[in-house]
């Protein structure tokens, strides 16, 4: 049975397969070509590798060379040369092409993506306003207009819990921006992970602002442990496709998603740790489609542990970006940029609150800012001292 399967796969007779097996038992493992047939020698094979495997171009070169051609004998037809290359590849010869393929990353586009790392509307750790550099309008044939949902996705901003707060461009946020720009330029997969409250979503939202303005952002909202139909419906919704018409038609829905993924864009799935391994493998199948040009961003607390249970998708992740907690040295300067009410607080009081309560968690500090802001509004004569910080920490519960 195995011999018959091998003969059908190789396109030869069963007797030929038995002859190959007999030669292999005798120790003859060199490829055997048809008697009297044309085959490429080492010189022609090396030139074919330099041409990126383009047999037609090699044939044209030999035709132009004429008598100076390295080929011995008469030049075969193009079809014969194609057949000879296929036979040699089937026999186990490797073709190490050196020419980049058409779908590889454009270095200029990659450089432009890495250069657009300023965060509009934010301040850096030195207190300077960050402004985005002018971005050249991309080719309309390459990028489509962003959908209305993407605009709302950014206009809602992030939850800061208190009026007058600013998003601060910390070192962690800049690293996320660099990682996202790299991944999108390479059309790869990014996994953004870290403990809850460390600012993953804030950093991701700000980094998405830096991408080319006409690059669509697709946000897929998934439920807890979604089944495959639910995940498929979430992806259809993210791309603006008719969910009701396609949910019950699996093949049509998959074809619609593959077509949508062929357009350069960014597909963001927040809280990716909610997705089980079988559904993650469905994402892997979509990513593996040769026509896929959309970058995939998986974000969530524990997303790296979830992907560990789906090794097929994990092996395709181009960038693993961890968002750590704030370093102790960052806390005083970051808080004074985050909200002006911390201008009167001493470094010692802020570091004490961070050590005993916040532990470098940005979300915890945002809540503390909200409680201190409310207390200062009730009693304007007070200051943001250690006593007020202790009271605000108590409002967060015994284990914030």
DSSP string, 51-91: TTT-HHHHHHHHHHHGGG-S--SSPPPHHHHHHHHHHHHHT
What are the tens digits of pLDDT across the range 320-367? 999 999 899 989 998 998 888 898 899 999 999 999 898 989 889 989
Q: Per-domain residue ranges for the chain?
A: 2-90, 107-322, 328-394
Q: Contact 349/385 with Cβ under 8 angstroms?
A: yes
Q: The whole model's pTM is what?
A: 0.59
d(CA 52, CA 38): 21
Q: If you search the block for the tokens 């383009």, which residue do you land on?
A: 54
Determine whether 116 is exposed, middle or buried from the number of CB atoms within 10 Å of its CB (0-12, 13-18, 19+): middle
Give residue 115's pLDDT.
Answer: 44
- Tallying the residues shown for the chain, one arrives at 400
Give residue 124's pLDDT.
Answer: 44
Residue stretches of the chain with pLDDT short of 50: 98-107, 109-157, 400
- The DSSP bridge pattern shows strands 217-220 and 265-270 to be parallel
Give residue 96's pLDDT.
Answer: 64
Q: Which of 188, 198, 378, 222 is nearest to 293 (CA)?
A: 188
Number of H helices and number of E strands within the chain? Answer: 19, 8
Q: Which of 21, 24, 23, 29 is nearest to 4 (CA)?
A: 21
Helix, strand or coil, per DSSP, at residue 188? coil
**Architecture (CATH level 2) of domain 107-322:** 3-Layer(aba) Sandwich (3.40)
DSSP 275: S
What are the tens digits of pLDDT across the range 54-89? 888 888 888 888 777 777 777 888 888 888 888 877
Give residue 275's pLDDT.
Answer: 92
Q: What are phi and psi of 360, to 5 degrees?
A: 75, 15
Give residue 323's pLDDT.
Answer: 92
Give residue 134's pLDDT.
Answer: 38
The residues facing 129 across adjacent strands are 123
Handedness of CA 366, 274, 238, 316 (dihedral sign): positive
């Amino acid at each position: 049975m195995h011999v018959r399967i091998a003969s059908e796969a190789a396109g030869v007779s069963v007797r030929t397969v038995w002859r190959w097996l007999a030669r292999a038992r005798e120790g003859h493992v060199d490829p055997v070509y048809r008697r009297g047939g044309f085959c490429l020698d080492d010189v022609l094979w090396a030139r074919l590798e330099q041409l990126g495997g383009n047999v037609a171009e090699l044939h044209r070169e030999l035709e132009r060379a004429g008598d100076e051609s390295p080929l011995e004998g008469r030049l075969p037809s193009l079809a014969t040369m194609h057949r000879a290359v296929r036979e040699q590849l089937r026999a186990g010869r490797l073709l190490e092409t050196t020419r980049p393929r058409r779908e590889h990353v454009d270095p200029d586009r990659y450089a432009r993506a890495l250069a657009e790392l300023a965060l509009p509307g934010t301040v850096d750790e030195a207190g300077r306003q960050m402004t985005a550099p002018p971005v050249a309008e991309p080719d309309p044939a390459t990028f489509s207009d962003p959908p209305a949902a993407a605009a709302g996705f950014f206009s809602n901003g992030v939850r800061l819990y208190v009026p007058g707060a600013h998003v601060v461009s910390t070192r962690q946020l800049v690293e996320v921006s660099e990682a996202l720009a790299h991944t999108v330029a390479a059309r790869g997969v990014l996994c953004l992970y870290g403990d809850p409250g460390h600012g993953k979503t804030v950093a991701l939202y700000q980094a998405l602002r830096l991408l080319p303005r006409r690059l669509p952002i697709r946000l897929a909202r998934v439920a807890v442990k979604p089944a495959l139909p639910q995940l498929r419906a979430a992806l259809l919704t993210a791309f603006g496709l008719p969910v009701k018409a396609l949910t019950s038609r699996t093949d049509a829905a998959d074809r619609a998603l593959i077509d949508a993924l062929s357009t350069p864009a960014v597909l963001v799935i927040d809280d990716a740790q909610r997705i089980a391994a079988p559904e993650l493998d469905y994402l892997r199948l979509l990513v593996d489609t040769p026509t896929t040009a959309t970058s995939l961003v998986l974000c969530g607390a524990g997303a790296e542990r979830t992907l560990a249970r789906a090794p097929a998708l994990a092996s395709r992740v181009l960038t693993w970006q961890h968002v750590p907690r704030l370093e102790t040295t960052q806390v005083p300067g970051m808080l004074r940029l985050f909200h002006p009410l911390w201008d009167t607080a001493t470094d010692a009081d802020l570091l004490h609150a961070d050590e005993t309560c916040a532990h470098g968690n940005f979300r915890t500090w945002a809540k503390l800012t909200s409680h201190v802001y409310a207390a200062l509004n009730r009693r304007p004569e007070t200051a943001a001292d250690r006593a007020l910080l202790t009271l605000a920490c108590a409002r967060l519960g015994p284990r914030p």
